[in-house]
């Protein structure tokens, strides 16, 4: 059975076969721009500072990058839109995302056109951000704020990135320790031999919900090579990825930092022949395995420059460094996968700090347990984590933040009590160091409540109940049904607050005091 697509054209519903939609979309999406290429480079051992020619993407006739544009005849970039919106739109861009957003609830379809004018491009739900490379897909909650990224790279792992300070594009070589082909996927029918030798576009999934490229799933953290006219399915978004086809690449000089292979070989051989020196007092020598698990990081900049930040690395960082890293990331307006795990690491630290606070331990031991909201309120009001909470909520949904708190509670050893929803209580981890005086915790308030309930129940049965107080510090005589009982609860009876009385009234369904209760001085 042939798939069909619905189009609203001139207030009429047209049912068209999928083949028509594909040919229709391809026919109207042609536009002029600039082809991007990065030439295959060879290391220059003799002269590390040598400059080599490389073709990098440029954006003709658009803002700050107009100085690197092609001749004026190539700048007239137009694409015809034949839908009911009509008209002509001129856009200078590296690539184009064009398609529709289908609202399953209302059934409406909205045209979505996103020219990619900066690289790397981060795309997702429109929101306030300082990231100049962010492109919004609209306010629909079908996608995350930072759902995926599109960038341009070569076979060696080098990328082309926009330098905001220099207001131009620059070629960034592969980062140290990064595998050029790591997590690089190809759609069916394509091989690495089919990749353009001078560079290609790549889509990286950043959100939790996967993306489909030509009906192949791309999970969070995975990368898929993109080619012109590839079909992207992002939740309720159906988009085409389109590249220009009528512009020539421009050649630019990029500096390639290289290291002599002879130096590497000699150092490798010498390390095998000579024994490893003993650690001195100035330099701490550790085994290679330990060095990889816990690198010595002294500043947020050094930590963020790591090609891939692992959870094991973050566990070795002090909390102050993690908070500084988080502040730097938020200020720069970036929120990628490796930055998200920084927030998760701080969440675990914040939950552990809350479990050691007297304000949390006292109600947790007395009730027993505290609500998750009590823990979140303590973290938000703390001097150490208050600003971090604002940073987290500015980059993620509130429910995602609550979910991260719940994960950290379970990971740190907190256990749930019986109950559902807001009535769920959390008990302290067994290994928590108690800082409050447990001996002073038990009080007579519970016994007083139970005794008061007995008095009310006796009164409802027609019995005569009297509470006599001879002195605030003396014993209290309680007469139930003519029988007098002695109970040393007078001082505490006076201390029952209005809050406790309201709770008792609600439990018994009454808002009035017992009619037969009188107090004698």
The reported pLDDT for the residue numbered 19 is: 42
Q: Name the domain boundary from 253, 286, 315.
A: 253
Contact 304, 321 (CB under 8 A): no
Residues 59 and 116 both lie in one domain: yes
Report the 10 Å Cβ neighbour count for 303: 21
- Whether 22 is covered by a domain: the verdict is no
Tokens of 351: 């939950």
Q: How many helices and strands, by DSSP H and E, does the chain display?
A: 14, 25
For position 459, what pLDDT does the model report?
Answer: 60
3-class secondary structure, 116: strand
Instruction: Give the tokens for residue 123.
Output: 């795309």
Rounded Cα distance between 433 and 416, Å, is 19
- The highest-confidence range among 47-61, 143-157, 168-182, 477-491, by mean pLDDT, is 143-157
* Contact of 333 with 129, CB cutoff 8 Å: yes
Q: In the numeric block, which tokens belong to residue 311?
A: 């959870």
Tell whether 304 and 323 lie within a shared domain: yes
Is residue 113 located within the same domain as residue 167?
A: yes
At residue 451, the pLDDT reads 60
Query: Where does the pLDDT of residue 172 fall: very low under 50, low under 70, confident under 90, or very high at 90 and above?
Result: confident
126 and 247 co-located in one domain: yes
Let me know whether 64 and 210 are in one domain.
Answer: yes
Helix or strand holding residue 250 (H, E): strand 250-255
162 and 226, same domain (yes or no): yes
Whether residue 213 sits in one domain with residue 125: yes
Question: pLDDT for 266-279, tens place per residue?
Answer: 444 444 444 444 44
Residue 30's pLDDT band, with cuts at 50, 70 and 90, is very low
3-class SS string, 27-44:
HHCCCCCCCCCCCCCCCC
Q: Of 386, 409, 439, which marks where a domain is finished?
A: 439
Residue 481 predicted with pLDDT over 50: no
Instruction: Please give the Cα distance from 478 to 488 (Å, whole number).
Output: 10
Pairing of strands 483-487, 250-255: unpaired
Residue 501: enclosing H or E segment and its boundaries? helix 498-508
Residue 500 is assigned to a structural domain of this protein? yes
Q: Is residue 299 part of a domain?
A: yes
Confirm whether 18 is domain-assigned: no
pLDDT tens-digit readout, 358-375: 888 888 888 778 888 888
8 A C-beta contact, residue 464 and residue 516? yes
pLDDT at res. 173: 72
421 has pLDDT over 50: yes
The CATH code of the domain that includes 219 is 2.60.200.20
Tens of pLDDT along 113-147? 888 888 888 988 888 877 778 888 888 777 888 88
Residues in the chain: 521
Q: Decide which of 388 and 55 is more confident.
A: 388
- Structural domain contains residue 515: no
pLDDT band at 53 (very low <50, low <70, confident <90, very high): very low
Q: Are residues 354 and 476 in the same domain?
A: no
Predicted pLDDT of residue 120: 85
Residue 281 lies in a domain: no
Report if residue 323 sits inside a domain: yes
Cα dihedral value 452, 456, 457, 463, nearest 10: 120
Confidence of residue 517 (pLDDT cuts 50, 70, 90): very low
pLDDT in the model for residue 311:
65
User: Given pLDDT bands bounded at 50, 70 and 90, which one contains residue 195?
Assistant: confident
Determine the pLDDT at residue 460. 61
Residue among 344, 69, 125, 341 nearest 220 (CA): 341
How far is Cα 176 from Cα 178, in angstroms, rounded to an integer?
6
Q: Is residue 259 part of a domain?
A: no
Among 191, 225, 253, the domain-final residue is 253
Pairing of strands 159-163, 168-172: antiparallel
- Whether residues 178 and 235 share a domain: the answer is yes
Same domain, 435 and 461: no
Shared domain for 112 and 239, answered yes or no, is yes
User: Is there a contact between 167 and 200 (Cβ–Cβ < 8 Å)?
Assistant: no
Residue 488 sits in which domain range?
443-508
pLDDT digits (tens, 9 = 90+) for 311-358: 666 777 888 888 888 888 788 777 777 678 888 888 988 998 888 888
Residues 298 and 175 in one domain: no
pLDDT for residue 139: 80
C-alpha 474/C-alpha 112 separation (Å) is: 80
484 beta partners: 479
User: How many CB atoms are closer than 10 A to CB 7?
Assistant: 16
Averaged pLDDT of the chain: 64
Number of domains in the chain: 3
């Amino acid at each position: 059975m042939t798939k069909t697509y619905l189009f609203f054209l001139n207030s009429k519903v047209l049912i068209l076969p999928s083949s028509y939609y594909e040919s229709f979309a391809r026919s109207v999406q042609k536009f002029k721009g600039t082809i991007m290429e990065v030439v295959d480079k060879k290391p220059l051992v003799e002269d590390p500072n040598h400059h080599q020619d490389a073709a990098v993407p440029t954006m003709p006739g658009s803002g700050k990058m107009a100085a690197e544009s092609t001749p004026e005849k190539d700048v007239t970039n137009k694409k015809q839109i034949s839908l009911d919106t009509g008209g002509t739109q001129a856009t200078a861009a590296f690539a184009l995302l064009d398609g529709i957003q289908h609202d399953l609830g209302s059934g409406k379809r909205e045209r979505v056109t996103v020219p990619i004018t900066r690289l790397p491009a981060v795309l997702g739900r429109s929101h306030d951000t300082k990231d100049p490379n962010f492109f919004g897909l609209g306010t629909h909650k079908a996608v995350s704020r930072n759902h995926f990224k599109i960038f341009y790279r070569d076979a060696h792992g080098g990328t082309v990135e926009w330098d905001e300070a220099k207001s131009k594009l620059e070629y960034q070589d592969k980062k140290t320790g990064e595998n050029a082909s790591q997590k690089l996927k190809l759609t069916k029918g394509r091989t690495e031999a089919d990749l353009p030798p001078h560079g290609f576009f790549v889509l990286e999934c950043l959100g939790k919900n996967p993306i489909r490229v030509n009906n192949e799933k791309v999970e969070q953290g995975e990368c898929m090579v993109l080619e012109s006219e590839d079909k992207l399915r992002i939740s309720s978004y159906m988009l085409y990825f389109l590249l220009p086809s009528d512009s020539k690449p421009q050649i630019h000089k990029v500096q390639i930092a290289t290291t002599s292979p002879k130096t590497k070989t000699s150092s490798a051989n010498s390390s095998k022949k000579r024994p490893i020196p003993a650690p001195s007092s100035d330099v701490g020598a550790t085994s290679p395995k330990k060095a990889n698990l816990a690198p010595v990081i002294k500043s947020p900049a050094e930590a963020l420059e790591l090609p891939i930040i692992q959870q094991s690395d973050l566990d070795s960082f002090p909390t102050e460094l993690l908070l500084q890293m988080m502040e730097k990331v938020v200020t720069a307006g970036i929120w990628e996968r490796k930055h998200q795990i920084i927030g998760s690491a701080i969440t675990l630290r914040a939950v552990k700090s809350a479990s050691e606070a007297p304000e949390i331990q006292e109600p947790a031991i007395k009730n027993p347990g505290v609500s998750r909201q009590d823990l979140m309120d303590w973290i938000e009001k703390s001097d150490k984590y208050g600003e971090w909470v604002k940073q987290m909520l500015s980059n993620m949904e509130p429910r995602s933040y609550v979910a991260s708190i719940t994960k950290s509670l379970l990971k740190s050893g907190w256990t749930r009590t019986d109950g559902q929803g807001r009535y769920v209580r959390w008990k302290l981890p067994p290994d928590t160091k108690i800082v409050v005086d447990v001996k002073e915790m038990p009080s007579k308030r519970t016994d007083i409540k139970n005794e008061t309930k007995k008095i009310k129940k006796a009164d409802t049965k027609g019995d005569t109940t009297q509470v006599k107080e001879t002195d605030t510090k003396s014993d209290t005589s309680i007469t139930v049904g003519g029988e007098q009982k002695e109970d040393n609860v007078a001082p505490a009876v006076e201390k029952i607050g209005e809050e406790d009385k309201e709770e008792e009234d609600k439990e018994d369904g009454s808002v009035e005091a017992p009619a037969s209760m009188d107090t004698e001085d």
